Amino acid sequence: MEPNQTTNQNENVKLHDGLVIILLVAVLLIGLLIAFINNKNNHIRIDELKHPIATTINPFDSIRLSAKAAIVWDMKNKKIIYSHNESEALPLASLTKVMTALTAIELIPDYTTVTISKAFLEEEGDIGLLRDEKWKLKDLLSISLVSSSNDGVRAIASVAGSVIGAEKLEPMPTDAVMRARFIHEMNKKATLIGLKKTHFENENGLDKDSTISGAYGSVEDVALLFDYVLRNHNSLLESTRYPRLTLNSLDNISHNLHNTNTVVNMIPGLLGSKTGFTDLAGGNLAIITDLGLEGPYIISVLGSTEEGRFTDIETLVGATTEYVKNIK
């Protein structure tokens, strides 16, 4: 074979190989383009569908409440998951008694004997306490929280207030002075635990007159108060889980109590509750509920009606239950 023929054959081989490579690259590029187009067509926008894909609905969006203010507080994550007018200071009514109970057990032991004097029986809301009857503080606290006894918290405030200043060897102060000192301690405790809109004028939350309430606070403050109580004194509200309670005084006198929260049996996982009602406050209610792995949740309403507070809480419990289902 001649040299020129060999050279031409080599050049033809190179040209053929080059064309094959170009063809393979072209086929690969076309394949990639087809795959891209098919992939893009598979990503359909929701607004292009005749029946859009369902999105998660916030269960609190459709609720209707009678209350002026409401909150659902997630204790586990320390956050609000629903609120309405959460920062507005409103009359607290007998929700005040939770702070009374908290302040008392941080001042005196729960085995302290409290004697019911005649002066303690002058408040409205008599639930059958007797003059000179003796109670352990722990049981009198249960009476005061379950049946919302004004007589009970009057006695508690006076006895607990008597220890304030006792180290100065002062003469025994009057009942009015002891109560005033105790209420001062209630306000100090509110400040210490971060209740920014809360102030107490008395230990029971009764209206002072037709225009001034005995205590004010925001529904957010109520949630923070209940949060503090459950974390630091988790047995304090235990008695409020039950619709009825029977307790005996140290004089062996039996008292049958009915819970002022009439829906305790309708709230799943109830850990504690407290009602409140006055002319100025309207209907108030706060509860703590445990819904399994999530929570507990503190749910409260202020400024509802006497019956509407229960309906409002049931509505919020239902919405909270749905909320928990959605986040699992």
Q: Mean pLDDT of successive 10-residue segments in the chain (328 residues)?
A: 49 54 62 56 40 64 96 96 98 98 97 92 76 96 96 96 72 84 97 98 97 98 98 97 96 96 95 98 98 88 98 97 84
Residue whose tokens read 């598979």: 42
Residues 6+ apart with CB under 8 A from 158: 117, 119, 120, 175, 178, 179, 182
Are 58 and 292 in contact, with CB atoms under 8 Å apart?
no
Beta-ladder partners of 90: 217
State the pLDDT at residue 51: 41
pLDDT of amino acid 295: 80
> Is residue 219 classed exposed, middle or buried when 0-12, 13-18 and 19+ CB atoms within 10 A define those classes?
buried
> Token pair for residue 47?
């607004």
C-alpha closest to that of 93 among 208, 175, 187: 208
What is the spatial distance between Cα 280 and Cα 260, in angstroms, rounded to a whole number?
18
pLDDT the model gives residue 175: 85
Whole-number pLDDT of residue 153: 96
Whole-prediction pTM: 0.82
CA separation for the pair 262, 237 (Å, rounded): 16
Quick one: pLDDT at residue 217?
Answer: 98
* Rounded CA separation 121/137 (Å): 17
Q: Which two tokens stand for residue 129?
A: 């306490």
User: What contacts 30, CB < 8 A, 6 or more positions away?
Assistant: none
Quick one: which of 147, 136, 138 has its CA closest to 105? 138
Tokens of 263: 């829906």
pLDDT at position 48: 39
Bond before 59 cis per omega within 30 degrees? no
For residues 258 and 263, give the distance between their C-alpha atoms in angstroms, rounded to a whole number. 12
Q: Give me the amino acid identity at 142.
A: S
Which amino acid, one-letter code, is at 68?
Answer: K
Q: What is the dihedral of CA 192, 296, 218, 144, to 10 degrees?
A: -80
Q: What share of the chain is helix, strand, coil (3-state, %, to 5)?
A: 45, 20, 35
**Per-residue tokens: 168:** 């100065």
